[in-house]
Structures are given as C-alpha cells and as structure tokens.
Structure 1
Amino acid sequence: MSAPVVLWDLDGTLLDPAGAITGGIARALAEHGHAVPEDLRRFVGPPVGVSLRAFTDVPEERIPEVVATYRARYRTEGIEQTRVYPGVAELLGSLHGAGVRMAVATQKPEPTAELLVARFGLDRWVETVSGAADDAAAVPRGGLAHDKPAIIGEALRRLGVHAPDPARTVMVGDRRYDAEGAAAHGLDCLGVAWGFADEDELGACFAAVARDAAELAGLLAGYTSPAPAGR
C-alpha cells in the first residue's frame, strides 16, 4: 500500500499572515493612487495580480508596479508579521513521523512560498513546494501556473503520485480555491476555520471543517491511518 499524502495550502492554513497580505495590498494601492476595496480578505488565496484584475480598477499596464511595491514590502515587513498557526507544526511533525508524505500547494509565487516554508522550518516535513507563476503576469510563465488545479497537479507529479488514491490523498485549505483544485483531481479537501473563508464558504466547499489543529488531526486520520475508515 502506498503512503498517504496530505497537500497543504499555505496562507490561512499553515501560516497566519497577520495582516501582512491585506495591509500590504492596501498600502501598495494607496501608494500608487488607486482606490482600496473594502473587502481585502478576497485577496488572500489567488495571486495578487489575479486579485487586482478582479477586484480593483488598476489598469493592466500598472499592475506590475503595484505588485512590485507589495512584494518588496512583504519581504521586508510582511514575513516578520507571519506566524505558524497554533498546533500546526506539531501536527506536521506527527504526520511525518507516521510516514505521511506532504507537500505545499499554494497560489503564492513559488519562490516566496519556498522562502516562507524554509523560514518557519516547515521544510523538515514537506517534500516539495508547488506554487504559482509570477503573480504580476496575466498569462503564466516559466512552466508555472496560476490556477489551483494545476498547482495541485504539479505537487502530485513531484511526489511521484500519478494516480492519487482519494481514500489516501487529501488537500487541506481555507478557501474555495483549495476545494475546487482538489475536486479537479477527484480528491477531498478538508477546511480549516482559522483561515480566511466565511461560514458560508466553509459550509459549501469542504468535505469537513476543523476548528483547531487537534480536530484537524482527527479528520486527517480518516485518510492517513493504516486502515482508513470508509467515508
């Protein structure tokens, strides 16, 4: 029997950006003279460039400069605001010790995601970080994608999992993008209530929702235990 696989979203699931994303986007928009939308939580999940196109009136030719301002401040200030959610490191360590294979699958640009995973020591437990293309680009470049199904597919490819067993493979995330990406591969997605989805999104998108890391450990046992319970 192949080892179980858990795929993790990053922001809102493993890491708490603590306002680094929403505050950073607001400051970058204001600095370039653009209106700041009221609901900045929508920006957590998709690449920043995708969200700027969807939720603001920033012209296409100005998006790269807004993203560049946001990214520069994020690397100098935002990372210092970020924290691992309570209980998450312990859960990753326990899963790794039990032989579970893990990867991060995030719509954050891959170099930044790799930096964060290493910065917080999560690379002790996850085998690979599959991320998005340059988030200022309208069209994916360099072999990386923007959309979550492709990012999840790349994580599975890097793990050598070409036909994932839905009883032994699961995604964990906090937004509908995670659930939709998992569904594209025939997989369940477990939701975490500590992220950025509202109650309606949590109720509509996920196979089950955990309120804390201990509850998530119990839900994951259904996919990672030696004899998975029927679902």
Structure 2
Amino acid sequence: MNNYKIILFDLDGTLSDPKEGITKSVQYALENLDVAVPDVHDLECFIGPPLQVSFAEYYDFDEGKTKRAIDFYRERFKEKGMFENKLYSNIPSLLETLKEKGFTLVVATSKPTVFAEQIVKHFNIDQFFSLIAGSSLDGTRTSKTEIIQYILDIYNEYEPGNFIMIGDRKHDIIGAHNTGIDSIGVTYGYGSFEEISESDPIYIVKNVVGIKDVLVGSRVK
C-alpha cells in the first residue's frame, strides 16, 4: 500500500479545461506575427507544454520570435484568456475529499505562477492548495521536471515515495520519472491514451473519479 502525502496537480487539462483561452491567445499571437490559423482546434497542441517549447516545435520560431509570440500571447491571455476556462466535473469534490483525508495539495504547472494563482482563485479552489508552483515570467523554471524538483526541495522533509504527480500530458509523467516520484496519467485532458501510456505512469485513469479511487484507496490508515 502506498503512502502518498503530497499530491501534485497539473492545471491545464487536469484541473481545468483551458482550451478556449489558450487556443485563442495563441491564435492572437500568431496573427500578430503574420501567421494565419483560422481554426483554433489546430492549436490544441499548445495546451500543456511550455510555450517556449511549442512555438519552437510547431512553428520553428527562433528564440527572438518565440519571445515576441509569448509577449503577444500574454497580452490577450492576461485580459481575457485566463478566464475562458472551466473546471472539469467533480474537481471541487475531489479536492475537498483529499484535503479532508489529510493530503497536502499542490498545483504544479508550466503556466506562470502569477497566472495560475489567479485562475485557481477565480475558480474558488485556492483554499485547497498549500502551494501553487509554476514557471517564472522571465522564462525560467518552465519544464515540468524543474517545477516538480522545486516542489520537492520545498517539502524536503518528505521522501520521494510520499509524492505523486497527476497530469494529462507526457511532460507531467516524464517530469515525475526524472525526479523519482510516482505519477497518475489522466486521459480526459489533452494527451492521448497513447501519449500517456508510452510515458509509463504508475496509474492511468479516464476520469476525475478515477483519481479519487487511486488516492483514497491507497491511503495508509
């Protein structure tokens, strides 16, 4: 039986569905750089990974152009994009249950901390989290490995076996592997079952109730 104490939640695609806000903000950024993408559905690949990675990978932007794209993205995202977002069904009740069971809950996201804090507060779930850990606006600490390690360093009185990372993309699972902690891959977000399974998480669940089944069922009494 596992002895998890610190539960790390990815934000986009795990706690909430940010599709509208992210894709429209990416579309806005690309349009300002003379790249036309009429259908925002083509931009779902931007949900999850750091923007620095996605603009370079999908549009072959160099460092300078990537920075300009991120600046344009944030221009729209700060104004309206972060609130074009919705919680997945059963998330508040899951968080309430885990908190009542004595778990420490942490948000671990590649999104800048300042935005993540506003989003979590907007949804009125900030009361459940002891820490919100994201990237820095200057582009540092963007990889999920760096973010998880940052959290482990803060809670350094705990063993790696006390932590588990929950996320919907391979970056979440790879980050957990790189830092020596367990992981739950969820398939209701934006990573396919193939992407999640190939990343080799300890558990794979198809819905929010599945997360509860894993964590509450594995709780050491």
Both structures adopt the same fold (TM-score exceeding 0.5): yes
Percent of counterpart pairs with the same letter? 30
- Counterpart of 1:82, as a letter, is N
Superposed CA RMSD: 2.1
Q: Which runs of 5+ in 1 are unaligned?
A: none
For residues 122 and 153 of structure 1, the distance between their equivalents in structure 2, rounded to whole angstroms, comes to 24
The TM-score, its normalising length taken from structure 1, stands at: 0.85
Deviates most, 200-209 or 168-177: 200-209
Count the aligned residue pairs. 216
Alpha carbons 1:171, 1:190 under 8 Å: kept = yes
- Counterpart of 1:60, as a letter, is E
Instruction: Give the alignment partner of residue 195 of structure 2, picking from 194, 201, 204.
Output: 201
Q: Which runs of 5+ in 2 are unaligned?
A: none
Greater relative CO (CA pairs within 8 A, separation 6+): 2
Runs of 4+ aligned structure 1 residues displaced above 4 Å come to 35-39
Alpha carbons 2:4, 2:163 under 8 Å: kept = no
Alpha carbons 1:7, 1:102 under 8 Å: kept = yes
Q: Which structure is higher in helix share?
A: 2
1:35: how far off? 5.2
Residue 111 of structure 1: SS of its match in structure 2?
A: helix
Alpha carbons 2:83, 2:119 under 8 Å: kept = no
Alpha carbons 2:112, 2:134 under 8 Å: kept = yes
Q: Deviations over 1:65-103 (max 9, x none)?
A: 321221121122222321111001110011001110111
1:91-110 alignment runs, 5 A limit: 91-110=94-113
Confirm whether residue 113 of structure 1 aligns to residue 116 of structure 2: yes
For residues 80 and 22 of structure 2, the distance between their equivalents in structure 1, rounded to whole angstroms, comes to 11
1:53-202 alignment runs, 5 A limit: 53-134=56-137, 137=139, 140=140, 145-158=141-154, 160-166=155-161, 168-202=162-196
In structure 2, relative to structure 1, the CA distance for the partners of 1:222 and 1:187 (3 Å cut) is farther
Partner of 2:10: 9
In structure 2, relative to structure 1, the CA distance for the partners of 1:121 and 1:38 (3 Å cut) is closer
In structure 2, relative to structure 1, the CA distance for the partners of 1:38 and 1:127 (3 Å cut) is closer
- Counterpart of 1:31, as a letter, is N
1:211: how far off? 1.6
